[in-house]
Amino acid sequence: MSSDTSETVAPDYRDTVFLPETSFPMRAGLPQREPEWLARWERIGVYDRLRETAAGRAPFVLHDGPPYANGHLHIGHALNKVLKDMVVRSQQMMGRDARYVPGWDCHGLPIEWKIEEQYRAKGLNKDDVDIVDFRQECRRFAEGWIDVQREEFKRLGVTGAWDRPYLTMDYHAEAVIAGEFMKFVMNGSLYQGSKPVMWSPVEKTALAEAEVEYHDHTSHQVWVRFAILNAAEFNVVEVDGLRSHSIATTLDGATVVIWTTTPWTIPQNRAVAFNPAIEYGLYEVQEVNENSSIKAGERVILAAKLADGVLKSGRVEKYVLVAPVPAGVLQSLVLAHPFRSIEAGAGEWDYDVPMLPGDHVTDDAGTGFVHTAPSHGDDDYQMGVKFGLPMTYNVEADGSYRTDLPLFGGQHIILPDGKEGPANVSVIKQLAYSGALFAKGKLKHSYPHSWRSKAPVIYRNTPQWFVAIDKPLDDGMTTYGETIRKRALNSINQLVTWTPATGRNRLHSMIEARPDWVLSRQRAWGVPLTCFVKKGAKPTDPDFLLRNAEVNARIFAAFEAESADVWFVQGFKERVLDGIVDPSDYLKVEDVLDVWF
């Protein structure tokens, strides 16, 4: 090796192991710095500057489904708004003019409920307060929470036109909502009907499906005997091989047994439904448990698949199938209401109860027979329409029986505090007294509750305003169909691009199967049903509803200038009808619109 070879010098790494010098602070200090960034964005008007730089680009608009203005944000709001903000920002970065339009849902029961809670805390009664004053309190409440939520959304970093949101309680918005409603008035699709709807006795109003949530609830369940009035008129063939001949006495003394978890609806019974596709039999009880209310020798008609479970519920130890009962016989039977000729009944239930065929009846649970009260269930109502069953009006808005109903007058199904009233137990006691109670028990199951009060709801027959979604409309707007349903379905299929595509299926199936739209609510804080009805006219009369374009224009202009509150101001009816029709000939509708309208 040469002596003059240079020695290898080891590299000096000291200057490479330290982080480079930077103006960034060592700590992020986000709690202090984030408000500073947000303030700067607002000071420089970052959202409007983005609009300026994106002028001329293809537009992308996210018109937000509004939150409700009645409380602080929760984690659901945060997730919703952050995801939407990511979509808008990504669309802006991909070269579009991406706009986010925030808004608030301001009307409806949640705010009204909050004001009522304040009243109750002060010992005040809402019904004693002028409705315009009450509505203005609701408006102020919403305004306060809009300001709070706006700042909370900004704190999440969501960028949008926060200085110009849309509000459903803006005067213009209320005028537009009323204007759309009056289109239904004019095209003949609006009608007043009587139909069972989801009803909150606590809040005293009808509820939309979206306002109902399901919770576990323990209900009374009863099995109830319906005596057969014309049993001797029919023959059935016994299964005993030694006596396989028709005899007329087989149904004598027999009863048809129904099962229900709403004993309070029994006073409203008008029919018993069966399914001709189900096998039924006549069963005779042979031995019973000592605690059973059933007697040996009793005969009952039940669905064959369910007979064993029903009889065990009644503590029957041994039974035998006497004979199958064909559908033709069932349809010809005439039953007695369980309270027929009951003491102190004043003849209220002394009518015949028909047996009617219905596809909604199954043998999955119950007895194979369905107690039918047309005023308290949708299937029941449809049966009533099909077979001309009378409606009953026994249940008041507060969930109590009408005061003049024999035996049960004034008793509550649901108390004002949302707890169970005495009605169910009273009905069960009267069933036992009359000899109609076959068995009873308790059942824990999923049951509808009001999403606001958390109290159970009931189906109740009430006069409501509906839009007929299958009525052909002669309004010159038939491009996508002649009815509201067809137009909605064609719009879903032809005018909307769905992401993901499964979203289309859910909405399409909902619209395809939905009944007529219930528009009315018996509340105060909302856009009113801006229509007038003729005094003395029936809902089926052609002149029942006032249809006048000039009247509608006056209403629209008044709402635009003074808000929908003006509808409830004394003298408004005369103000909009004078010079067109005689105001004394008409009544102003006081209900408000479903907030989903």
What's the pLDDT tens digit per position in 97-155? Answer: 999 999 999 998 889 888 988 888 888 888 788 999 999 999 999 999 999 999 999 99
For residue 217, how many other CB atoms are within 10 A of its CB?
15
Q: Is the pLDDT of residue 17 over 80?
A: no
Per-residue pLDDT at 92: 95
Per-residue pLDDT at 6: 56
Give residue-wise pLDDT tens across range 560-595: 999 999 999 999 999 999 999 999 999 999 999 988
In the chain, the domains with their CATH numbers are: 30-169 (3.40.50.620), 180-208+461-593 (no CATH), 212-454 (3.90.740.10)
Give residue-wise pLDDT tens across range 166-194: 999 999 999 999 999 999 999 999 999 88
Three-state secondary structure of 445-503: EEEEEECCCCCECEEEEEEEEEECCCCCCCCCCCCCCCCHHHHHHHHHHHCCCCCCCHH
φ, ψ at 12 (rounded to 5°): -95, 110
Q: b vs e for 320-333, b when ≥16 Cβ sit within 10 Å of the residue's Cβ?
A: eebbebebebbeeb
Q: Is the pLDDT of residue 57 over 90?
A: yes
Q: Is the pLDDT of residue 5 over 80?
A: no
The three-class DSSP label of residue 31 is helix
Look up tokens 């169970």; give the residue. 420
Sign, CA torsion 104/108/110/111: positive
Q: In this structure, are residues 169 and 105 in contact, taking their beta carbons and an 8 Å threshold?
A: no
- Mean of pLDDT values over 303-319: 91
Average pLDDT, the chain: 89
Per-residue pLDDT at 197: 84
Q: Is the pLDDT of residue 403 over 70?
A: yes
Per-residue pLDDT at 4: 54
Which H or E element spans position 518? Answer: strand 517-518
- Mean of pLDDT values over 5-11: 70
Percent share of the chain, pLDDT over 90: 62
Q: Which of 205, 519, 211, 258 is nearest to 373 (CA)?
A: 258
Q: In this structure, are residues 376 and 261 in contact, taking their beta carbons and an 8 Å threshold?
A: no
Q: In this structure, are residues 346 and 407 in contact, taking their beta carbons and an 8 Å threshold?
A: no
Q: Which token pair is 205?
A: 């109003």
Look up tokens 């919403």; give the residue. 142
Strands 246-247 and 280-288: unpaired
Look up tokens 């509820």; give the residue. 207
Q: Is the pLDDT of residue 242 over 50?
A: no
Sign, CA torsion 240/241/243/249: positive
The strand pairing partners of 585, in sequence order, are: none
- Mean of pLDDT values over 252-266: 93
Model confidence band, residue 394 (pLDDT cutoffs 50, 70, 90): very high
Q: Is the pLDDT of residue 244 over 80?
A: no
Q: Give every CB contact of residue 173 below 8 A, 6+ residues apart in sequence.
A: 166, 167
Model confidence band, residue 246 (pLDDT cutoffs 50, 70, 90): very low
Give me the half-sphere count of Cα atoms (radius 13 Å) on the Cβ side of residue 131. 17
C-alpha span between 448 and 221 (Å, rounded)? 16
The three-class DSSP label of residue 28 is coil
Q: Is the pLDDT of residue 1 over 70?
A: no
Per-residue pLDDT at 388: 86
- Cite the beta strand spans of 160-211 per DSSP E: 166-167, 190-200, 205-206
Q: Is the pLDDT of residue 240 over 90?
A: no
Angle at 476 between CA 471 and CA 482, to 5 degrees: 30
Give residue-wise pLDDT tens across range 507-560: 998 898 887 888 998 889 999 999 999 999 988 899 999 999 999 999 999 999
Per-residue pLDDT at 130: 92
